[in-house]
Structure 1
């Protein structure tokens, strides 16, 4: 199988690289950067074929843009949830009115989104969602709590998985709702304070928050199907860009191992080589499955591969540094918030990789039941 990019792709790569080089110096994370990207046509690549978005781009050109963005070290995206998760979901399951209302502001960088999936007690197993949405005329009224909600403090909208059938259980009776965040008194966003005193995530409380009936995606009660489709989009083109970041992290770990002398240990050196080889294999796997026929197991296989790979890299990142990996910033004072360095962040944050977005157990169950056709796991067994 030929994994090389064609001449048109490479020309597109040169254009993307030149634009990013010219603009990244003045870039800041947030709405201004999203609007800059939107004005230049870099958000919503390929949507133009459906009558939305900006410029025309093939699937391979979308991969090229994602890779170049990651490679140049451009700012983290505030709009990636809207572009990479909500938009493909609307293109697949939304009606014409929903696409016309929500896709153009995402493509322009004007509206930011967050994801209302995980709850206390329903994190990796989304079928346990308890947030309720009750029909009230032209609206649904939503009550419940979501947690680990990235960018909720910046977002204009949230797509929420909620239970619209009060007597339903597990994946039945769920709906996928588009909810405006500007509802004072009905929606409260609280930062989740970490041990460092800083906050990367939020919890969101809904107290009668309203979502319009026409903003249910895929019809009432079809939320599980829509939600699972979205998770598949989460592991598409963005996976290849993610691997560019992984390669950069691996290079930093190798450089540190050489600097500290840890690379002289043949066992550790062999582990670093294995990390490099596995990363190459993951890239080829992602390219092989990109845009291919629907394979229910491919997203789960990809998640198992990269999550465990990244976790092992985090362990290596602190191991090659030795004792200094456990030391905080020199200017820290008691009680003050502080930032951990890149290697410490890699180690600590990667511990969650095998949990969020569907734990390893959930992914293996999907592969076993939906791909291999094995008997369903017994529910409620002790």
Structure 2
């Protein structure tokens, strides 16, 4: 759906922008980085950027194109949909990638643009747009996972500040984050209405993180403890008691990104194709087809689902930009994306056979060992960002209009 800005923009003006974008990219994008994955836009362990990566991140961030649709007054690109599309085409043409990412871009930034004060936007959005600050999410607690509204971390009003005590768990990237956006309880007498949205500096005295080692061997999550942590009153987003509303909106942004490129589903078409993988490990018949008719049909079904899903995501992304951002439909995308991601991992392991079950030692390639960990890691896809069961509840209530039975 075209926006008014798209319709009013002359074709020659768009081509002029294309020429400008192409010229800027050719000057600023290091050819050595062509086609590489972005090492800086992940919640997993940060790596020391190369000189080329650091220069590219700095140039792209200062240009505002890491968040091309965000307002220019806060450090964004200020581009409309048509310009964003052209920028993407020009980046793809030379194998360039966006070096700005993380939870600040995926979830917190878009939410703060909607609910934050002018002072909060001026303080936090430019640093996110340049990739200068890493954010983590303080939502889940040991006794409040799927039932997030049962959270107990308490922010006590102390006049000019809050005194925060409690614990969060599954804090993605907590051990590397500079700041945390968190749901806290400010009123113990109310469940949903007693929750507020608070910004916490992770370097504050009283904040402690303990990494959690996953079955895949990685440790991208933490237990995070808050003991008498002082948080300035100006770090409250919205009013007290509005945290549940703001937090739900942020989750819609998260689910859109998890299903549409900011998470596991972005790996659907990465690396070797399923067909090539099957021919490598299972062989091909005299017609060049996968030498297993049943496996061949299941791969075809999987690839059809994957490509249909990718096209649906693209359409949904365009619709969200032309309307008011992501909607409850992101829950559908999250569930479908989780299923497709897990199906791909299961198929890959089946294709590789014993070669796909190695953990370490000789006899396995790096790609085979990586596939084992990807398969194990993928088990969490239907849990994090809101479990599939929770998404089904959202779909039933918000999309199908079904009500709870009393």
TM-score range (shorter-chain normalised) is 0.7 to 0.9
Q: Residue 267 of structure 1 corresponds to which residue in structure 2?
A: 294
Distance 1:92 1:15, change over 3 A: farther
Distance 1:234 1:196, change over 3 A: closer
Q: Is the 8 A contact 1:12 1:61 kept in 2?
A: no
What is the DSSP-based 3-state SS (H/G/I as helix, E as strand, rest coil) of the residue aligned with 2:64?
Answer: coil
Give unmatched runs, 5+ long, in structure 2. Answer: 3-10, 41-45, 284-289
1:177 and 2:186 aligned: no
Q: C-alpha separation between the residues in 2 aligned to 1:121 and 1:148?
A: 12
Q: Residue 308 of structure 1 corresponds to which residue in structure 2?
A: 339
1:3-50 deviation per Cα after TM superposition (whole angstroms, max 9, x unaligned)? xxx97597688579755553637986458645454235332322234x
Q: C-alpha separation between the residues in 1 aligned to 2:151 and 2:23?
A: 44
Q: CA deviation at 1:330?
A: 1.3
Q: Is the 8 A contact 2:137 2:171 kept in 1?
A: yes
1:257 and 2:278 aligned: yes
Q: Residue 131 of structure 1 corresponds to which residue in structure 2?
A: 153
Q: CA deviation at 1:63?
A: 6.4
Q: Is the 8 A contact 2:187 2:195 kept in 1?
A: yes
Distance 1:145 1:72, change over 3 A: farther
Q: Residue 62 of structure 2 corresponds to which residue in structure 1?
A: 39
| Larger relative contact order (CA 8 Å, sep ≥ 6) | 1
**Which residue of the other structure, out of 212, 218, 222, is the alignment partner of 2:232?**
212
The 5 Å alignment of 1:1-382 reads 20=29, 22=31, 24=33, 29=40, 30=46, 33=54, 34-35=57-58, 37-49=60-72, 51-59=73-81, 61-62=83-84, 79-169=101-191, 171-184=192-205, 186-195=206-215, 198-236=218-256, 239-242=259-262, 243-249=265-271, 251-261=272-282, 263-290=290-317, 291=320, 292-293=322-323, 296-330=327-361, 341-376=369-404
Structure 1-normalised TM-score?
Answer: 0.83
Distance 1:244 1:363, change over 3 A: closer
What is the DSSP-based 3-state SS (H/G/I as helix, E as strand, rest coil) of the residue aligned with 1:264?
Answer: coil
Q: Is the 8 A contact 1:12 1:64 kept in 2?
A: no
What is the DSSP-based 3-state SS (H/G/I as helix, E as strand, rest coil) of the residue aligned with 1:231?
Answer: helix
Q: C-alpha separation between the residues in 1 aligned to 2:71 and 2:127?
A: 14
Count of aligned residue pairs for this structure pair: 364
Q: CA deviation at 1:65?
A: 6.3
Q: C-alpha separation between the residues in 2 aligned to 1:23 and 1:199?
A: 30
Distance 1:188 1:351, change over 3 A: same
- After alignment, is 157-166 or 187-196 more displaced? 187-196
Q: CA deviation at 1:118?
A: 1.6
Q: Is the 8 A contact 1:66 1:241 kept in 2?
A: no
Q: Is the 8 A contact 1:63 1:240 kept in 2?
A: no
Q: CA deviation at 1:235?
A: 3.6
Q: CA deviation at 1:304?
A: 1.2
Give unmatched runs, 5+ long, in structure 1. Answer: 333-337
Distance 1:196 1:55, change over 3 A: closer
